[in-house]
Amino acid sequence: MQPGKSPRRRAWPASIAAAAALCALAPAFAAVLLAAPAALAAKTRPSDGVLSPRLAELAKPAVRSAPPAEQAQTLSLAAEGPGSLIREGNRVLLEVRFDHGAAASVEALRQAGAAVVNVSRRYQTVTVAAKPDELRALNTVPRVAGVTEVVSPLTYAATCPSGPVVSEGDEQLGAREAREAFGVDGTGVEVGVLSDSFATAEGATTTASQDAASGDLPGNECGSAPAVHVLSDYTPKDPEEEPAPSDEGRAMAQIVHDLAPGAEISFSTAFTGLTAFAEKIEALAADGAKVIVDDVGYFNEPFFQEGPVGVAVSKVTAEGVNYFSSAGNNNLIDGEHDIASWEAPEYRDSGGCPGGVVARSTEYEESEEALEEEEPGLELPGIGLNASHCLDFDPSESTSDDTFGITVQNGANLTVDLQWSEPWYGVNTDLDAFLLDAAGHVIAESPYANEVTPYEEFSWKNETGSSEVVSLVVNRYAGGTPRVKFALLQNGGGVASTEYEESSPGPNGDIVGPTIYGHNGSENAISVGAVPYFSDMEPEQFSSRGPVTHYFGPVASSTTPAAPLEPPETLDKPDVVATDGGINSFFGSCSNHRWRFYGTSASAPHAAAVAALARNAVKSATQSEVKDALLGTAAPLPGFPETAVGTGLIRAPAAIAALESEPFSEGPGAILEPASENCDLAPSNLPSSEEEIEGTSPAASAPAPLPATATTQSSGAAEDGSPPTSFFRKHPPKVILTRRRGVRLAFRFGSDQGAVTFLCKVDRRRLHRCRNRFVRWYRLGRHVLRVKARRNGDGATDATPAVFRFRVRHVPHRVFRRRHTRHHHRS
């Protein structure tokens, strides 16, 4: 799906003579470009009007009259399922982008034959459904900046008894134990679900009303929760041509109801476009949902910044909502290697291209010239003549390789999502992607313009009858040398091996493996990986890996590119893991007469249900406190990095116990004086309750600030250019006692210079930006916190971080209570 993609705005040559002149100049241009590969020639391709190149192609009589499967092949899109055009009857779903005045243009769009589906004022985008033979009429609508097709997103499900059917996740995550121990069932908490559909699938084993009657969904006379509130659903008008609804959202709602049977559930479809998806998140929050979960991923969500959906997630979490998203099912493993993505720190120009790409470029130019002669003024997509700047995939300096081999299994769809590190609405580089067969012929492509989003995507199905080795080629049509990454979004499998399966050494080496992206890896979403219901010792192989790194701020509007982040922000994703493969009444894979729901689509609602129990238990808990409790009490999976399993498997009883033992005020808590390592504390050293523990005086190791006249200028930088130093202003004692499985601690940092940003590293986690007051949950055991200051003006960073080592120890409840009572008696 490509909302926001804008056509290349180039002047089409006024005549064939002009085109011939342009072709004659091509060798000279090529010589200049090879001499200066970092700054390629300005874009000169012909204009497509406001239609994307794929829509311009679809509007041609020969293409629009072809069967849908032939259309998909022509457009290098999947014929059905993820990556296919979303259709409403004989119309296709589109996103129409305006520079301004989107809402005021609704009537003009209707007069052009489009049916309006959604209006986003924030992103000045109107989602419409239009017939292929009426697409060109959109060129006449005033103020339209671009029209792009919407392709079906991914939902992360890896592809029958009487009475209630309860997922094994109820036991695996301890939800039943928590309900019994704490007397909670989710009552008073609304959980919003976003997926494909809820009650429109045809041929399902059960219906929504039957699930409610059996108790597998709320809404019968025996339960306390009302029926699921459906704000919007996905209903195709022509099931033979449109992506078929599966009611995956209903299966997710069953999981929530299994673990939190008292919670209210609401649902909205996420299958009406990217900006509409973002608005439906806000609609669920406005409906009263305090926990929201989705299992959807759009192909064009950005790799390198927060997109519109991530912005919506941040908005609702700031308003107090706990947001959960499936991490994705895109990991691929060959031997010991995760191979589903490849990323280079900058675009390496090989100085040439395979012959098939060069031939394809020439073929396009000749075809367009002939069509222009037959039908003057016809809007045509162009590839151009710059097929000589293909990406070098070989990280070594001594050799070059302009193809990337991928082994695709028979019958599998290969989906390649290519992006580069430039912000939305600030794209200066234009890359094209091609797929070659073993003979070097182009079999799929995405050679389109990039003025709004740095994104290319195509799908190809292997129908050869056996595994096939194909080659990915990336050509730079114009622009610079940004970081570049592609991901194989396979939703569970289909690729057996790739040519480059290991990251190259060094801090600036190529990176292979991570596939969490978009809002699934949003900073404020809890990204949930999957572990099988029958074992909590390892994650599912397909469960997407992290981390996620953002190089730009969020996509805040439809006109202004976001500023770069200095330094880039690395997010440890996934955050946690939860159950998949549990039973339900109708959805997934039928095994031993049981329907089993696999994928991170199933793990995310399991985690959301536990959050509903926690919010039921402690109604005053904030969004951040619930999140900290869930992540801080998760059970580690030994042998797996946090980029695969986060902090571990969610445990409902531990999370609720942590919430009940912690205060919910941001004010200072009781102070513990430093203690010896053997924890032989006097009663006076124990807190009056297990509040947030924070020091009250500067750390003994903190350097005394030097006189301002000697150390700082008005900018806060040192006059001699030396980097800032870092120290702890306040910290808890070196040993903290708790009767729970962890404790929430607060630290305060300082620097000898002003205008600095702080970078924190907890234990073996990655270094990340943090505030000068740093609060998080720590489980039992030894910990180390490192902090360094980074000057805002020039990025100068403290080379010797301030370090604080401490230990969180468990004290039996009876001992804690005895000492706690004596402490109060003495005071």
Q: Is residue 2's pLDDT more than 50?
A: no
- Whether 493 and 425 map to the same domain: the answer is yes
Which residue would you say has higher pLDDT here, 795 or 443? 443
pLDDT classification of 378: cutoffs 50, 70, 90: low
Q: Which amino acid is at 688?
A: S
Average pLDDT of the chain is 82
Residue 225 lies in a domain: yes
**Residue 117 domain-assigned?**
no
Q: Are residues 390 and 369 in the same domain?
A: yes
Same domain, 439 and 464: yes
Confidence of residue 163 (pLDDT cuts 50, 70, 90): very low
* pLDDT average, residue stretch 364-393: 67
Confidence of residue 517 (pLDDT cuts 50, 70, 90): very high
What is the per-residue pLDDT for 221? 64
Report the C-alpha gap between 529 and 1 in whole angstroms: 24
Asked whether residue 85 is assigned to any structural domain, the reply reads no
Give the domain extent around 188.
155-330+518-661
| Contact between 40 and 388 (Cβ < 8 Å) | no
Residues 153, 270 contacting (CB under 8 angstroms): yes
Distance of alpha carbon 279 from alpha carbon 775, whole angstroms: 31
* CATH code, domain carrying 495: 2.60.120.380
Q: Measure the CA–CA gap between 455 and 648, rounded to whole angstroms.
A: 33
Q: How far apart are the first and last CA of the chain?
A: 66
- Segment 657-660 long-range contacts (CB within 8 Å, at least 24 positions apart): 657/633, 657/740, 657/741, 658/629, 658/632, 658/633, 658/740, 658/741, 658/742, 658/777, 659/614, 659/617, 659/618, 659/621, 659/625, 659/626, 659/629, 660/182, 660/617, 660/618
pLDDT in the model for residue 152: 85
Q: Are residues 436 and 382 in the same domain?
A: yes
pLDDT (average), residues 202-228: 87
Of residues 639, 591, 349, 581, the one with CA closest to residue 482: 349
Select from 466, 488, 514 the last residue of a domain.
514
Distance, CA of 554 to CA of 288 (rounded, Å): 25
* Bigger pLDDT: 241 vs 72: 72
| 342 beta partners | 486, 512
**Is the pLDDT confidence value at 581 over 90?**
yes
- Choose one of 491, 514, 537: the last residue of a domain: 514
| DSSP code string of 415-455 | EEEEEES--TT----EEEEEEE-TTS-EEEEE----SS--E
- Six token digits for residue 412: 């599998």
Do 340 and 475 reside in the same domain of the chain? yes
Please report the sign of the dihedral spanned by the C-alpha atoms of residue 82, residue 83, residue 86, residue 91. Answer: negative
Please tell me the predicted confidence (pLDDT) of residue 23: 35
Q: Look up residue 188 and give its two tokens.
A: 């008073």
For residue 82, which amino acid is it? P
Identify whether residues 467 and 584 lie together within a single domain: no
Q: Could you write out the DSSP letters of every residue in 86-112?
A: PEETTEEEEEEEESS-TGGGHHHHHHT
pLDDT tens track for 436-459: 999 999 999 998 888 899 999 999
* pLDDT band at 222; cut points 50, 70, 90: low
Residue 46, domain member (yes or no)? no
What percentage of residues in the chain have a pLDDT greater than 70?
80
Does residue 299 form part of some domain? yes
Q: How many CA atoms lie within 13 A of 425 on its CB side?
A: 20
Full DSSP string of 223-238: SSSPPPEEEE----S-
Domain boundary residue, one of 460, 486, 514: 514
Q: Work out the pLDDT band at 788, boundaries 50, 70, 90.
A: very high
Q: Is the pLDDT reported for residue 10 higher than 90?
A: no
Domain match, 550 and 616 both: yes
Q: What letter would DSSP give residue 793?
A: T
Same-domain pairing of 505 and 548: no
Phi, psi of 255, rounded to the nearest 5 degrees? -65, -45
| β-strand partners of 96 | 126, 147
What pTM, to 2 d.p., does this model score?
0.70
Q: How far apart are CA 451 and CA 818, in angstroms?
A: 68
The domain that contains 574 carries what CATH number? 3.40.50.200
User: Could you read off the pLDDT of 309-335 as tens digits, one per residue?
Assistant: 999 999 999 999 999 999 999 999 999
- Residue 666: pLDDT band (50, 70, 90) is very low
Q: Where are the beta strands (DSSP E) in 479-626?
A: 484-488, 495-498, 511-512, 526-532, 548-552, 564-571, 576-580, 582-584, 589-591, 594-597
Cβ atoms of residues 756 and 789 within 8 Å: yes
Q: Are residues 172 and 308 in the same domain?
A: yes
Quick: pLDDT tens for 686-713.
333 334 555 543 333 333 332 222 222 2
Distance CA 824, CA 827 (A): 5
> What pLDDT was estimated at residue 82?
83
Average pLDDT for 468-496: 94
- Whether the pLDDT of residue 826 is over 70: the answer is no
Q: Is 745 among the domain residues?
A: yes
- Identify the bridge partners of residue 434 per DSSP, sorted by sequence position: 445, 473
**Residue 631 or 451, more confident:** 631
- The answer on 589 and 492 residing in a single domain is no
Task: State how far Cα 426 lies from the chain centre.
Answer: 20
Asked whether residue 770 is domain-assigned, the answer is: yes
Structural domain total, the chain: 3
Could you give the CA distance from residue 71 to residue 68 in angstroms, rounded to a whole number?
5
Rounded percentage of the chain residues whose pLDDT exceeds 90: 54
Higher pLDDT, 435 or 381: 435
Task: Give the domain CATH number at 717.
Answer: 2.60.40.10
Residue 668 lies in a domain: no
Same-domain status, 175 and 323: yes
Mean pLDDT of the region 24-30:
38
* Claim to verify: residue 615 and residue 688 sit in the same structural domain: no
pLDDT > 60? residue 5: no
Question: 611 falls in which pLDDT band (50, 70, 90)?
Answer: very high
Q: Are strands 291-294 and 229-232 parallel, antiparallel or unpaired?
A: unpaired
Q: What is the pLDDT of residues 538-574, one digit of tens each?
A: 999 999 999 999 999 999 877 789 999 999 999 999 9
Length of the chain equals 827
According to the model, what pLDDT value does residue 211 have?
93
Comparing 496 with 364, the larger pLDDT belongs to 496
Residue 153 pLDDT greater than 70, yes or no: yes
Q: SS3 for 31?
A: helix
Beta carbons of 255 and 263 less than 8 angstroms apart: no
What's the pLDDT at 264? 96
